[in-house]
Amino acid sequence: MNRPGLLADRKLLGRWGEKRCEKFLKRKGLKTLTRNFSCKTGEIDLIMVDADRTIVFVEVKTRADESFGPSESAITTGKKTRLTRAARYFLVTNEIEDRPLRFDVVMVILGEKAPPQIRHYENAFVP
C-alpha cells in the first residue's frame, strides 16, 4: 500500500501497522496465537508466544507521524485496564493456566519519507 493511501484511511493504516508489527515480532522469535482478539471487555491486537512459552499480549499503536505528541501517550490507564480484562478472558476461555504473561506495546510510525519506525516496549506495564 502506498503512503498517501495509508494516510487517507485510519483503518488501513492500523491494519498495515499490525502486520508490520507481527512480522517484526516474528523475526524476534515470537509465534502468533491470534490476531484482533475481541470480547465485551476489550480487544487485543496480537496475542503471541515467546520462545520461553510466555504468552505475550501486544497492543499496537500505528501513527502517520508524531506531530500530536509521542505515540506512547495513547496507552492510557483505561486502555491498560481493558487490555488486562480481555487478556484474563482469553486465558479463561482457552483454559491457559500457569504460564508466564506479559503485556508489550509496539509503536509503528509511518513517517514522512524515511522507512517506518518500530519501537517495541517489552513488558510495558504490569496489571
Higher pLDDT, 61 or 47: 47
Tens of pLDDT along 67-83?
555 555 667 888 899 99
Cα 39 from chain centre: 16
pLDDT in tens, 23-44: 999 999 999 999 999 999 999 9
CA 89 vs CA 6, 56, 67, 125, 127: distances in Å? 32, 14, 35, 18, 14
Q: Identify the H or E element spanning 106.
A: strand 101-109
CA-to-CA distance for 73 and 25, rounded, in angstroms?
A: 22
Q: What percentage of the chain reaches a pLDDT higher than 90?
A: 60
Domains and CATH numbers, the chain: 3-125 (3.40.1350.10)
| pTM, rounded to two decimals | 0.88
